[in-house]
Amino acid sequence: MIKTRFYDFIKSLQDTITTTLENLDGTTTFKEDQWNREEGGGGFTRVIENGAVFEKGGVNISEVYGPLAPAMQAYFKVGDVDFYATGLSLVIHPVNPQVPTVHANFRYFEMYDKSGEVVDSWFGGGLDLTPYYLYKEDAIHFHQVCKTVCNRHEVADYAIFKKKCDEYFHNSHRGEARGIGGLFYDYCKASDEHTMEDWLSFQMDMATHFLEAYVPIVEKRKELSYTPAQRDWQEIRRGRYVEFNLVHDKGTLFGLKTNGRIESILMSLPAHVQWRYDHHPEPDSPEEQMLEVLKNPKDWV
């Protein structure tokens, strides 16, 4: 069954990702919390805090099922159905402002009628990068990995998923992108041309290559020096990250409103954050150049 194969895959991928990030950090490890959901299922939340490289991050997997909550029935415009949802979700906030924050999510959803028959199923997910300082080669590298994976799967269209990512991770109240984007896809279903196996294959390939997209950037930037002013800028930009997650992110809001596990949902928030009134970077500064790109998303590859 696809759901079992995908769950087994993310369970093993969680180990690979956390081990790799621990080795990269070198000073601390992820702590695991296993939690159960009263209505069915649960998850394994793994959090890293106060590392030399990673200030705060989480790599979570969950597998939840049962009757679909009324709020979700309304959202999906379906009746009283049962559901199964599983996925891996991660957000990593590095210490050094030269190292970007990264987010990724790879998920699978099934809906059942009351006889237990699957009536709908789809994959969704993506990955996106939020740098504080713009290194064009990093943005190109991240997008190139995304594009290369997409290109080997007929189901995946880099240009469309890239555009959806820019549209989704957008702080409309600021007129700014959250970061330099990546991929976003959802409701990836079987069609006349493609099977769920095709989508599973793309999903696993993309998830497997998350580390290839991110780790070389961390390795390249983690030893760079930075000033207190650059750290301030990072914390101010993290405020925008918080704004996006709490005001616009559908996953976060649904979690908060449908009695999800709060700590697993809000592990996405950075450790140290600042808000200043009406902050604007100096003209022609590296900070302003970063902002310029966030206001006008670019094609990187």
Catalytic residue among 103, 141, 143, 170, which? 103
By the rule CB under 8 A, 288 interacts with a second copy? no
Position among 231, 273, 286, 301 found at the interface with a second copy (CB under 8 A): 273
By the rule CB under 8 A, 246 interacts with a second copy? yes
* Among candidate residues 14, 16, 8, 113, the one with its CA nearest the CA of residue 67: 113
By the rule CB under 8 A, 274 interacts with a second copy? yes
By the rule CB under 8 A, 270 interacts with a second copy? yes
Instruction: Give me the long-range contacts of 258-262 (CB less than 8 A, separation at least 24).
Output: 258/69, 258/71, 258/72, 259/69, 261/35, 261/37, 261/43, 261/45
Q: Which burial class, exposed, middle or buried, applies to 296 when counting CB atoms under 10 A from its CB (0-12, 13-18, 19+)?
A: exposed
Residues 193-232 that bind a second copy (CB under 8 A): none
By the rule CB under 8 A, 69 interacts with a second copy? no
The region of 114-122, 145-153, 196-204, 260-268 touching a second copy under the rule CB under 8 A is 260-268
Element (H, E) at 164: helix 158-168
Size of residue set near a second copy by CB under 8 A: 29
Q: What is the CA angle 158-204-148, rounded to 5?
A: 35
Residues 21-40 that bind a second copy (CB under 8 A): 33
Query: Where are the extended beta strands (E) located within 16-117?
Result: 31-36, 41-49, 54-67, 82-94, 101-112
Position among 5, 173, 189, 295 found at the interface with a second copy (CB under 8 A): 173
Which residue ranges make up the site for a second copy (CB under 8 A)?
A: 33, 47, 49, 56, 58, 173-174, 239, 242-243, 246-247, 253, 256-257, 262-263, 266-267, 269-278
Residues tagged active-site: 103
